[in-house]
Amino acid sequence: MLSKQRSARSLSLLACGALALGACSTADTGEGSGGGDGETQDQTIAFAWEQEFEAYNGNTSSQNATKNTVVLNRVLTQFWEYDPEGQVAPYEPFGSFQKTSDDPLTVEYTINEDAKWSDGEPIDCDDMVLKWAAQSGKFKKDDKDVFSPAATTGYEDMQQPQCEDGDKKFTVVYDEPFADWSASFDQFIMPAHIVEKEAKVEDLVAAVTDKDMDAIGKAAKFWNEGWVLKAGELKPDIMPSSGPYMIDSWTAGQSLTLKANPQWWGDAPKASTIVFRFIAGEQQSQALQNGEVQLISPQPQVDIVKQIDAIGDSVIKETGDRYIFEHVDFNFGTDFKDPEIRKAFAMCVPRETIVKNLIQPVNPEGTVMDGRYVFPFQDNYAGIVGATDAGEYAKPDIEGAKAILTAKGKTNMPVRIGYQTPNQRRTSTVQLIADSCKQAGFDVKDAGTDSFFGTEQPARNWDVALFGWAGSPLVSGNSSTYVTGGGNNFGDYSNPEVDAKTAELNKAVEESEQDRLITDIEKLLWSDLATIPLFAHPGVNAQAANLEGVVFQPSQSEVTWNMDQWTMAAE
């Protein structure tokens, strides 16, 4: 078996350099630049994924999940993508953008003249105004955002795009500097004409411009809920594609199939069909060996990696650093609103044991992660986390935790740890935490369910949540996770100092200033025990030896980021 190792150690935090005038440079990703070149081969490539697709709109706080991203990566396209190093690179088939001013920060965008939805409707100004309106946080009813975005970062400081209904060019002006300006208008840009039709809004651009809250409210309700699907449910009339592929069919609990989009204006995808097979992680290596799938990218688990290694020369395994980390979050609506109770729990979580038992057999260099904004493979990691209180929780302090619970009268305090099943590594993690924290006086219950992300997590039906955040080097990537009321702040943590520091960070251009602010935020998060980071996920891909075009992706886009380049070599 051929085995390859990639490292992201040299990656910096800065997304696209300082705010110098001009556009970001394009990385060579093997992509064409549009124009319909190439020929699609009549090939079917199957990819195994553990969680089933659920929503066509991955922008909402409840559906901002990799289970949707992996399917939509080349179904819904945008102005930029993460390149093989996890950095921002313009996606030229969709269009181009250029910063034209620093004060005020101004960016001009041009949508490809040929760009259109698979139903024939042009991609234009309307879609960009919808993107901005839905993610700006500027449209409220009873002081609450009528849209439910996972994040408003960047858009909240952006004025409405300057364009008219149907325009292919638009300009945005920021009220404040924004470090990650090159990453605006990302996934997922949704079809405004579908929102207009389904919400019965005659002119969305006019409604947004005039702040017609009746019309905007109807549009928001559809944007929030209208693209959430039942398993196996396809609604092709409201799910047009803007990429090389379109969703063709879906069998609940088994598979989802993409077919080449005949309306795609860029270089033709290399394979005509991509099939996502929903297979539990521990069964994926067997499916790869049997030829049921040609590619797997499972969460790192000891037994799975051993199974891959045992297959032999018919597969290629690739591992590498990834911007994904595992953590436990507290529900601040429970007894964990008390900082002393959070401290007691943090003191009994056996982080070193978790890493030693569950991660180091997969990645011998794996270590306990002490940061949330920076990763152990980044050069600035040691300096930032070394200035925090993370070391206080490096090893369990059972007696200290027990003393706190006794003083609080919380002996045998029940704790439900929620997570998405099936996932053997997380099941094992919960058991290790339960065994350790039982000694301190916590009665930990495994509350994992197969509906956790869609139901229990957003409803806050848990005491402690165990899951991973998939990220990138973007400094603004965590903005909605730790700020008050943030779309990804599922535990309802709040600290005005963190809010203020996060706003500063989003504006910071110089790397030294970013590091200073990240250090300040990390100190606060550790002092408050907002969450407890556990470890960074090592990435593992395994593919059939005759599958070509797969490129390891360290960011949140996952391995399907360039699936239009996948092809089976002739035997």
- Alpha-carbon gap, residue 76 to 187, rounded angstroms: 7
**Average pLDDT of the chain?**
91
One domain, residues 266 and 335: no
Mean pLDDT of 441-447: 98
Largest CA distance in the chain: 71
CATH number at residue 424: 3.10.105.10
pLDDT of residue 365: 86
One domain, residues 281 and 329: no
For the chain, give the percent of residues with pLDDT over 70: 94
83-87, 153-157, 338-342, 492-496: segment of lowest average pLDDT: 83-87
One domain, residues 189 and 146: yes
- Alpha-carbon gap, residue 322 to 556, rounded angstroms: 8
Mean pLDDT of 481-491: 92
The model's confidence at residue 22, banded by pLDDT at 50, 70 and 90, is: very low
pLDDT of residue 241: 98
- Alpha-carbon gap, residue 309 to 154, rounded angstroms: 44
The verdict on residue 34 lying in a domain is: no
One domain, residues 428 and 411: yes
DSSP 149: B
Mean pLDDT of 235-259: 98
- The boundaries of the domain holding residue 301 are 236-320+539-568
One domain, residues 345 and 417: yes
DSSP string for residues in 66-106: HHHHHHHTTTS--SEEE-TTS-EEE-TTTEEEEEEEETTEE
For the chain, give the percent of residues with pLDDT over 90: 80
- Alpha-carbon gap, residue 257 to 4, rounded angstroms: 29
User: What's the CA angle centered on 266, arms 297 and 186, to 5 degrees?
Assistant: 60
The owner of tokens 């910096």 is: 12
Q: Which of 182, 205, 226 is the last residue of a domain?
A: 226
30-34, 98-102, 489-493, 544-548: segment of lowest average pLDDT: 30-34
- Alpha-carbon gap, residue 263 to 122, rounded angstroms: 11
DSSP 25: P
The owner of tokens 């000694």 is: 439
Q: Which of 207, 226, 245 is the last residue of a domain?
A: 226
Quick check: bond before 538 cis, omega within 30? no
Query: What total of structural domains would you count in the chain?
Result: 3
The answer to whether residue 29 scores a pLDDT higher than 60 is no
Q: How far is CA 262 from the centre of its chain?
A: 28
How many residues are present in the chain? 571
pLDDT of residue 2: 59
- Alpha-carbon gap, residue 349 to 436, rounded angstroms: 7
- What's the pLDDT tens digit per position in 42-80? 999 999 999 999 999 999 998 988 899 999 999 999 999
One domain, residues 297 and 386: no
The verdict on residue 440 lying in a domain is: yes
Write down the pTM of the prediction: 0.83
The answer to whether residue 15 scores a pLDDT higher than 50 is no
Side-chain-side CA neighbours of 274 within 13 Å: the count stands at 32
One domain, residues 347 and 428: yes
The model's confidence at residue 16, banded by pLDDT at 50, 70 and 90, is: very low
The answer to whether residue 185 scores a pLDDT higher than 70 is yes
Mean pLDDT of 413-425: 94
φ and ψ of 215, to 5 deg: -70, -40
Nearest to 265 by CA among 51, 444, 420, 113: 113
The answer to whether residue 571 scores a pLDDT higher than 90 is no
Cβ neighbours for 169, distance < 8 A, ≥ 6 positions apart: 108, 109, 110, 111, 163
The answer to whether residue 4 scores a pLDDT higher than 80 is no
- 8 A C-beta contact, residue 11 and residue 323: no
- What's the pLDDT tens digit per position in 310-367? 999 999 999 888 899 999 999 999 999 999 999 999 999 999 999 999 999 888 888 9
The verdict on residue 70 lying in a domain is: no
One domain, residues 488 and 410: yes
Residue 461 vs residues 58, 201, 343, 454, 492: alpha-carbon distances, Å: 22, 35, 21, 11, 13
CATH number at residue 166: 3.90.76.10
The verdict on residue 331 lying in a domain is: yes
Q: Spell 103-119 as b/e; 16+ CB within 10 A means b.
A: eebbbbbebbebbbbbb
The verdict on residue 38 lying in a domain is: no
One domain, residues 93 and 171: yes
The 10 Å Cβ neighbour count of residue 425 is 24
The answer to whether residue 14 scores a pLDDT higher than 90 is no
- 8 A C-beta contact, residue 393 and residue 329: no
CATH number at residue 268: 3.40.190.10
One domain, residues 564 and 498: no
pLDDT of residue 319: 86
CB neighbour class for 182 (10 Å; exposed up to 12, middle 13-18, buried from 19): buried
Residue type, 35: G
φ and ψ of 498, to 5 deg: -65, -40
- For residue 380, the SS3 value is coil
Nearest to 558 by CA among 49, 212, 106, 9: 49
Nearest to 13 by CA among 436, 509, 452, 443: 509
pLDDT of residue 422: 87
One domain, residues 493 and 355: yes
pLDDT of residue 3: 59
The two beta strands, 80-82 and 88-90, are antiparallel
One domain, residues 409 and 279: no
Q: Which of 226, 255, 278 is the last residue of a domain?
A: 226
User: What's the CA angle centered on 446, arms 444 and 447, to 5 degrees?
Assistant: 115
The verdict on residue 27 lying in a domain is: no
Mean pLDDT of 28-39: 50
The verdict on residue 90 lying in a domain is: yes
The verdict on residue 15 lying in a domain is: no
| Structure-model confidence comparison of residues 10 and 316, the more confident one | 316
Q: How far is CA 206 from the centre of its chain?
A: 32
